[in-house]
Amino acid sequence: MADETPRKSRDWWERLELASKIIGGVSVPIVGLALTYALQQQTQSSQQAQLYANITTGREKADSDVRSQMFSKLLERYLVTGAGKETVEDYRDRVMFLDLLRSNFEEYFNARPLFSRLYEQIRDQEARAAANRPAWAQLKQQLIEVAKDTTSRQIARLVRSGHLTEDIVVPVRVSLDSGDPVSQRIALYSVRGLRGLDGVFKLSDEDTGATDTERDAAAARDAQRNRYSITIRVKEMLDSAAKVSVLLYRDVYDGDAFRPERSLPDLRPIEFEVSYFSTPYMDNTRLFDGSRFSVLYDGCIDQKATDQVCRFPLAPTAQPMAQFKVVVFDEAFLSQRDRPYVDQILEKIGTTPGKSSAFPLGRSAPR
């Protein structure tokens, strides 16, 4: 009996030694296969990331090259003049070239000076014309419509990250005794759910087209920021533009109730000229919280005229009123327009073969 205990102990150690040899022999290949698979996956992921970076870089370079060549050709063709012998058709071609320039380079190129200069040239031709004056007037209106179409298209994109206030009408001072009329306050934030604004603010349906969830999200976002509003004063009216003075206010609320006595001007007035040819992409003002606003000119109406059309130069009896709209948007939109967001690029790079990508190659991120 005394020998059985050591024998059992030896048998147990022999079994343990045998099991460890078997486990070791099996686990070593498994670990090797796992490490090999992990290295292959890491290599494949790095290759995918490099491929995506190369495709993105190549696409951007090709796009830039095409745009550069197109811009040079269009601008070169536009600047060709007939030494004072241009006809209506020549100017119509110049309007077409300006339309192409703005349509393809609206986010990089401020074409407002070219539009303004062409408008002045067509207006002068109209004034000197005898037989075909209606054709020149029609061409002048066509140029304005091209500019308005571009502005409307940009506004439609920007309101996705902001809001729009329309139908802002500001009387124009016509005599030194009448003073400078000023617009109602225009909120540069969502006014949904706020109280005490009637009679002070120009209220608009800025949430049109948005769902209740989107409107509530916009109101919650604006509540975390400093709230600003503006007033517009028209200093001078021109036939295609208005010289304005914009006063910025920092609005104060107690809860959701507006406190006008504590909402005072924040800066000195900002004076600039806004015309038919201003665009929100290029002609905007940055606020302190990173958002931007743009004042856009919609035209002039004369209350004394039977057709309410302003005719320049304005008669002493005229009662002109300038029309504006104001669009507010996040400035980050300007740097990410028609480009993938950084987090989407990182998500794309980190996508495994079994998962679908955030957005397909060759297409920009959704806006």
pLDDT of 115: 94
Chain mean position to CA 330: 7
Phi, psi values for residue 112, rounded to 5°: -55, -45
| pLDDT at res. 249 | 93
Is residue 124 domain-resident? yes
Q: Is residue 52 part of a domain?
A: no
Distance separating alpha carbons of residues 247 and 250, to the nearest angstrom: 10
Tell me the residue length of the chain.
367
In a domain, 33, yes or no: no
What 3-state DSSP class applies to 47? helix
Task: Establish if 20 belongs to a structural domain.
Answer: no
State the pLDDT at residue 356: 37
Contact (Cβ atoms closer than 8 angstroms) between residue 136 and residue 125: yes
Beta partners for residue 242, in sequence order = 237, 274
Give pLDDT, residue 364.
34
Q: Between 88-105 and 133-158, two packed helices, what is the crossing angle to 10 degrees? A: 10
Tens of each residue's pLDDT in the chain, 367 residues? 555 566 666 666 767 676 676 776 666 677 777 778 888 888 887 887 777 777 877 777 776 666 677 777 777 777 776 666 788 998 998 899 889 888 888 888 889 999 999 999 999 999 988 788 999 999 999 999 999 999 999 999 898 878 899 999 999 876 555 577 999 999 998 888 888 998 899 876 554 444 555 455 555 555 556 899 999 999 999 999 999 999 999 999 998 899 998 888 877 899 999 999 999 999 999 988 778 999 999 999 998 898 999 999 888 889 999 999 999 998 877 765 545 555 555 565 555 444 433 333 332 333 3
pLDDT score at 217: 55
CA torsion through residues 356, 360, 365, 366, sign? negative
Cβ neighbour number for residue 52 with a 10 Å cutoff: 16
User: Closest Cα to residue 329, out of 360, 359, 274, 289?
Assistant: 289
The pLDDT of residue 220? 58
Q: Which of 89, 94, 86 is nearest to 117 (CA)?
A: 94
Structure confidence at residue 76 (pLDDT): 76
Q: How far apart are CA 302 and CA 19, in angstroms?
A: 101
With respect to residue 31, please indicate whether it lies within any of the assigned structural domains.
no
Q: Residues 293, 188: contact at Cβ < 8 Å?
A: yes
CA 23, distance to chain mean position in Å, is: 64
| Chain mean position to CA 154 | 7
227-237, strands of its sheet edge to edge = 186-187, 227-237, 241-251, 270-275
Identify whether 194 is part of a domain.
Answer: yes
Helices 4-78 and 88-105 cross at an angle (nearest 10°) of 170
Per-residue pLDDT at 367: 33
The secondary structure of residue 261, as a DSSP letter, is: G
Give pLDDT, residue 73.
Answer: 75
Q: In which domain, by residue range, is 259 found?
A: 81-336
Q: Is residue 15 part of a domain?
A: no
Look at strands 241-251 and 270-275 and give their pairing. antiparallel
**C-alpha count within 13 angstroms, C-beta hemisphere, residue 31:** 6
Residue 68's pLDDT is what? Answer: 72
At 360 the pLDDT is: 33
Say whether 10 sits in a helix, a strand or coil: helix
DSSP state of 185: B
Q: What is the pLDDT, as a whole number, of residue 366?
A: 31
Total domains in the fold of the chain = 1
- pLDDT score at 86: 81
The Cα–Cα gap between 243 and 146 comes to 22
In 79-211, which residue ranges form alpha helices assigned H by DSSP?
Answer: 88-105, 112-128, 133-158
Given the structure tokens 């006063």, which residue do they identify?
247
Task: Give the rounded distance of the alpha carbon of 323 from its chain centre.
Answer: 22
Which pLDDT does position 216 carry in this prediction? 57
pLDDT of 162: 84
* Three-class HEC string of 303-331: CCCCCCECCCCCCCCCCEEEEEEEEEEEC
